[in-house]
A and B are shown apart, each in its own frame.
Chain A
Amino acid sequence: MSRRTASAVAQGLRAVLAGSLLALFVLPILALLLYPSLGRLLTEAGDPGVDAALAFTLYASGLALVLVLLLGIPLGHLLARSRFPGRSIVEAAVALPVVVPHLIAGLALFLVVGPGTPVGAALTRAGIPVFATIWGVILVMVYVSAPYTVLASELAFRAVDPRLLEAARSLGATPAVAARTVALPLALRGIVAGAVLSWARAVSEIGGFLILAYTVYPSGPYTGPVTSPLSVYIYTVFQIDLADAAAISALFVLIAFGLFVAVRLLERFGRLPWPSGELPL
């Protein structure tokens, strides 16, 4: 076999292998979108139960994302910019929610904040009951999704040239002002990418919800009807009717896709201050 033929075979093999994986990514979503009729989609979109689960999930995931950003960006900045004893332990702790199966994570959270535990009882007395409420859903979402924002923030802050921060300080900025006016805008692109991953991870969670928030009762910031997180809702419907489950799933995929597109459009036509290029979504 000549070298040219061998090269052609290798290229062909690579195309087949890469194409197979891409097909695995795309075909199920296509199947899902094509399975329900438009009529069924519209019916599900108008179903109060579906609407409640959908609205609740978007609402809870939005609140969880705010918490993830508030807590995750400082931790990412700390890991990127500071040296301290036990740093590797902190890094391992950040990776823990990614490697622990989420049903087990839900069980572990239940042992800490579930009803009957001292922490759970204290939270209930403080007006933040976790079991079967939006608080539990947010807790699970933050737990499973925050590592993506922490890790993306760490990488993004680490990529900011430290000489820019020195320049800012030399021009009169305190370390905090330099972080806000130089590091944060330059890291924003990476942070947004991490936040998008975090949000996607949060809304796709089910394991933790099965233990801690299978059914959600109104409490605190959620005053709507009794419902479930969408993933749990879909699984419940799936056990009864595949077509309904597929239609609700397709509806959610379309909404999620719309949100991704919106973020991209904001990046391209908005006035977001990241330097150049597109979001690495």
Chain B
Amino acid sequence: MSAWACRGLSAHQGPFHLGPIDLELGRSEVVAVIGRSGAGKTTLLRTLAGFLPADAGSIGRDGTDLTTTPPEGRRAVYVPAGLALFPHRSVAGNIAYPLELAGGRADGPTVGDLLDRFGLAPLADRRPSTLSAGEQQRVALARSVAADPALLLWDEPLGALDLVAREALLAGLRTAQAGGGRPIVLVTHDPAVAAAIADRWLLLDGGRTAFLGSADACVARPPDPFAARFAGYANVLVPDDLARETGLRSLVADRAGNGGVATTPFIARPSDGEGGVTAVVDRRTPTPDGVRLTAHVGTLALELRAAADVGDRIRVGDRVAVNDDGTVVVPIGPTGV
């Protein structure tokens, strides 16, 4: 049974309209909200949190309608992109805030427990402004958990973290979620985060749901070019690209969807002048298994790769032959061309 359910949810912020959105969240589910800037990701989170009124539709938790419940009554903790740590309180003071509001909970964790759980005990007396970005994120996470939320809403929680800090916080998010069996909806621009922690991806486009499903489903058949890029494909060729570059079309057209085609890097080898698709190399980047090449066919940029022995013979400015041997090619969009 789902813990949270939005049905036909619509809202607006200024001239921007969100929805209708249908979304059900399981008890321990993590949903990554992805999409271009201005797609409505933050609007969705703010509407779920209660800071934007719903124009239509409903938000419910365990059968209770929360559509018009003010933010403080929803138990949906919203953490904005800037984290919004209280600058006049210490780390411990920030974490204590929701506990003070609740008048202390006999059964819940104490400030000390949370400081320990999130590795913040040595920083307890520090002000947020003196912490690193990763430390601040952990404080925001600990403060959110202190509020014993029924839903965590995180807007770009891993904005500016190095890899180590990201892994630490991903672990923290999993801990926070596992402890209370609470769903998490997080906005992220980081495919690695979405792939690592999210059970489902919600792709928004122009305020509407463009895709809602597993990361596997998104990778197997990206719903649109943005999703294809997000899923990690190196080349995203929309129908206009294929119409313009006839050589490429011959290479991949039979596998294109109505949104075009997404591919891992094509294979490059030095051109022997025998025809086929050729590209001119603009940039050459060595990788552990060969070289990665950025090249152009006409006005279209393409990502290519070559094994080490072949790549050694390719230089910037060279014309190379392009083929799809070993390249993964998937259609974009729900139906064929």
**CB under 8 Å from chain B, chain A span 150-205:** 161, 163-164, 166-174, 177, 181-182, 185-186
The verdict on A274 contacting chain B, using a C-beta distance below 8 Å, is yes
Question: Which residues on the A side are within 8 Å of B85 (C-beta)?
Answer: 167
Given A169-B72, A170-B76, A171-B77, CB of A164 within 8 Å of CB of B101: no
Shortest distance in angstroms between A161's beta carbon and chain B's nearest beta carbon? 7
The 8 Å CB contact of A172, one of B82, B87, B102, B127, is: B102
**CB under 8 Å from chain A, chain B span 69-106:** 70-72, 75-80, 82, 84-88, 97-98, 101-102
Question: Which residues on the A side are within 8 Å of B322 (C-beta)?
Answer: none
Shortest distance in angstroms between A65's beta carbon and chain B's nearest beta carbon? 24
Closest to B46 in A: A166
The verdict on B16 contacting chain A, using a C-beta distance below 8 Å, is no
Total interface residues in chain A, CB < 8 Å: 21
Given A163-B82, A166-B71, A167-B80, CB of A173 within 8 Å of CB of B88: no
The verdict on B182 contacting chain A, using a C-beta distance below 8 Å, is no
The answer to whether A173 and B86 touch across the interface, beta carbons within 8 angstroms, is no
The verdict on A275 contacting chain B, using a C-beta distance below 8 Å, is yes
- A273 and B90 CA atoms in complex are apart in Å by 11
The 8 Å CB contact of B77, one of A164, A170, A273, A276, is: A170
Question: Which residues on the A side are within 8 Å of B97 (C-beta)?
Answer: 168, 171, 181
The answer to whether A167 and B88 touch across the interface, beta carbons within 8 angstroms, is no
The verdict on B305 contacting chain A, using a C-beta distance below 8 Å, is no
The answer to whether B79 and A167 touch across the interface, beta carbons within 8 angstroms, is yes
The 8 Å CB contact of A171, one of B82, B88, B127, B143, is: B143
The verdict on B252 contacting chain A, using a C-beta distance below 8 Å, is no
The 8 Å CB contact of B87, one of A168, A169, A170, A275, is: A275
The answer to whether A167 and B72 touch across the interface, beta carbons within 8 angstroms, is no
The verdict on B187 contacting chain A, using a C-beta distance below 8 Å, is no
Can you pick out 12 interface pairs between chain A and chain B where the beta carbons lie within 8 Å of each other? A163-B80, A166-B49, A166-B78, A167-B80, A168-B86, A170-B49, A170-B71, A171-B97, A171-B147, A181-B97, A275-B88, A276-B129
Residue ranges of A at the interface with B (Cβ–Cβ < 8 Å): 161, 163-164, 166-174, 177, 181-182, 185-186, 273-276
List 5 additional A-B contacts (Cβ < 8 Å) besides A167-B85, A171-B101: A171-B143, A172-B101, A177-B101, A275-B87, A276-B127
